[in-house]
Amino acid sequence: MRQKIVAGNWKCNTNLQEGIELAKAVDTVVASKGADDVVVVLGTPFTHITKVVETVNTERIGVAAQNCAAEAKGAYTGEVSAEMVKSTGANYVILGHSERREYYGETSETLNKKLALALENKLTPIYCCGEALDIREAGTQNAFVKKQLDETIFKLSSDDFKKIAIAYEPIWAIGTGVTASSEQAQEIHAFIRGTIAEKFGNEIAEGTSILYGGSCKPSNAKELFANKDVDGGLIGGASMKAEDFIGIINGF
């Protein structure tokens, strides 16, 4: 179902105590100021998930892992499985973030395994896609993103596809302070929705939440979220301060 979603991605930041403090602060501001129709999600490090689930009102705030293993279980030292994530009380998992693709060599093939395990374990994948600056400058971003989708989530059954959310995150906007303009965001979100319609039909396309990520902050959230194909945001830096995060949530 198409929902307004604002998800924080804390990346590799905060120790456990800092993470709990941040979760408490977000819980408090969301309870007092957060619009009820916006789904709020916190994407925390694995080590924090259990505590964050205990700290926040999970009726109001969802918790996400930022990754999960490509295997169900077994001799994979250091990996955290989708089943483990689910058993903490988390309900979401961010998959395919450009940082994981770039620094950890995550391929479409790996992502397909992770997507299958996430769905099997009833985690909602927030699937990330988006192009680097050279691709944007060459004007081939639509073809690039379509290829990412074709190789991964477009292979899902329509029943499974309905369970995911998508985050479009142009790499040139991540952590750079440069945000896609409202027009650029709307244009590519509409393109993504159009390709979903071609693949799965209009009803499913209209029911898919497509979030924008990349230097989203309270000062630009309103303009970005006003676009008809932008259903929220995946927020890095600005999710690390409860006041900024609530400012973005209230951008709707």
Residues 204-223 that bind ligand 13P (CB under 6 A): 213-216
Catalytic annotation on 189? no
Cβ-contact 213, 6 below 8 angstroms: no
Using the contact rule CB under 6 A, the part of the chain among 70-78, 113-121, 219-227, 228-236 near ligand 13P is 228-236
Q: What are phi and psi of 38, to 5 degrees?
A: -105, 125
Cα(109)–Cα(199) distance, rounded to whole angstroms? Answer: 20
Taking alpha carbons only, the member of 87, 88, 93 closest to residue 113 is 93
Give the strand pairing for 210-213 and 165-168.
Answer: parallel
Is 97 in the active site? yes
- Least distance (Å) from ligand 13P to the CB of residue 162? 23
Q: Within positions 131 to 160, which residues make up the interface with ligand 13P, using CB under 6 A?
A: none
Choosing from 23, 56, 235, 246, the residue that interacts with ligand 13P (CB under 6 A) is 235
Cβ(68)–Cβ(123) below 8 Å: yes
Choice from 90, 234, 248, 249 touching ligand 13P (CB under 6 A): 234
Q: Please select the residue that binds ligand 13P; options are 34, 232, 236, 251, rule is CB under 6 A.
A: 236
Q: Segment 168-207, which members bind ligand 13P (CB under 6 A)?
A: 169, 174-175
Q: Which is nearer to ligand 13P, 25 or 240 (CB)?
A: 240
Decide whether 34 or 170 has the Cβ nearer to ligand 13P.
170
Q: Which of 48, 99, 169, 189 is catalytic?
A: 169
What is d(CA 217, CA 238) in angstroms, rounded to the nearest whole number?
6
Give the residue with the Cβ less far from ligand 13P, 194 or 218.
218
Q: Are 16 and 51 in contact (CB under 8 A)?
A: yes
β-strands 232-235, 210-213: how paired?
Answer: parallel
Q: What is the DSSP letter of 8?
A: E
Subset of residues 87 to 106 that bind ligand 13P, contact rule: CB under 6 A = 97
Q: How far is CA 84 from CA 46, 120, 190, in A?
A: 10, 12, 35
Residues at the site binding ligand 13P, with contacts judged by CB under 6 A = 9, 97, 169, 174-175, 213-216, 234-238
Instruction: Return the active site residues.
Output: 97, 169
